[in-house]
Structure 1
Amino acid sequence: MSKYNDRKSSAERGYGHKWQRARADFLTKNPLCADHQRLGRIVPATIVDHIVPHKGDLKLFWDRKNWQPLCKQCHDTHKQRQESGSAAVGCDTNGVPLSVNHHWSAGGG
């Protein structure tokens, strides 16, 4: 760890050479952003996201059923917002709010 940063390095968190090879293989087989695909859009994926945050659990970390391809924009915006506990922003293709707490959602607000 850096004396200026208490967070472990990417390699120390499991994102070393083995991960880079697995990531490249996964993105070759799953080249499109899953979030954009659900909306009928074709956007290249550049990040392998853990659907359920692994929080250091190596079994969950390496479980490919827990991986999804995302573009950087999706990963860095609404995925990070979800993980931080903030409300989802926007709506699906039917106009239904993504946040279950939105006042238009059944039982929300």
Structure 2
Amino acid sequence: MRARKKRHDQNRPSSSARGYNGEWRKLRAEFLREHPFCAFCGAPAEHVDHKVRHRGDKALLLSWVNLQSLCAHCHNSIKQRMEERC
């Protein structure tokens, strides 16, 4: 698993190149204020996740209805397994 992640990260563009800029950080902070708990388990949320991968589409990246708050555990385990199936 770690080797696969390392290979993936080597080819991955920077976060700013993927669209995660000041506009995103502001939206993320606002979303977490309004949705402070994980959509999956109800624990305090740490991540704002895209329900549908945006793949560089700014409209999807910044779409409020495409966002969900997740705790670190659900983001790093459950959601990752869900995306591997797609």
Partner of residue 48, structure 2:
48
Where 1:68 maps in the other structure, the secondary structure is: strand
Whichever residue aligns with residue 16 of structure 1, its letter is N
1:6, distance to aligned residue in structure 2 (A): 2.4
Q: How far does residue 45 in structure 1 lie from its aligned partner after superposition?
A: 0.4
Match for residue 59 of structure 1? 59
Does the Cα contact within 8 Å between 2:39 and 2:69 map onto a contact in 1? yes
Runs (4+) of structure 1 exceeding 3 A deviation are none
SS at match of 1:35: coil
Q: Which runs of 5+ in 1 are unaligned?
A: 38-42, 87-109
TM-score by length of 1: 0.66
For structure 2, list consecutive stretches of 5 or more residues without a partner in the other structure.
1-8
Which residue of the partner structure matches residue 27 of structure 2? Answer: 22
- 1:1-109 matched pairs, under 5 angstroms: 5-37=10-42, 43-85=43-85
For the residues of structure 2 that align with 1:11 and 1:17, how far apart are their CA atoms? 9
1:15-55 Cα offsets, whole Å, 9 max, x none, are: 11211111011101110011013xxxxx1101000011111
Q: Which has the larger radius of gyration?
A: 1
TM-score, length-scaled by structure 2: 0.83
**CA distance, structure 1, for counterparts of residue 70 and residue 30 of structure 2:** 14
User: Which has the higher relative contact order, 1 or 2, with Cα contacts under 8 A spaced 6 or more apart?
Assistant: 2
Greater per-residue helix proportion: 2
**1:95 match:** none
Identity of aligned residues (%): 44
1:50 and 1:56 mapped to 2: Cα distance? Answer: 12
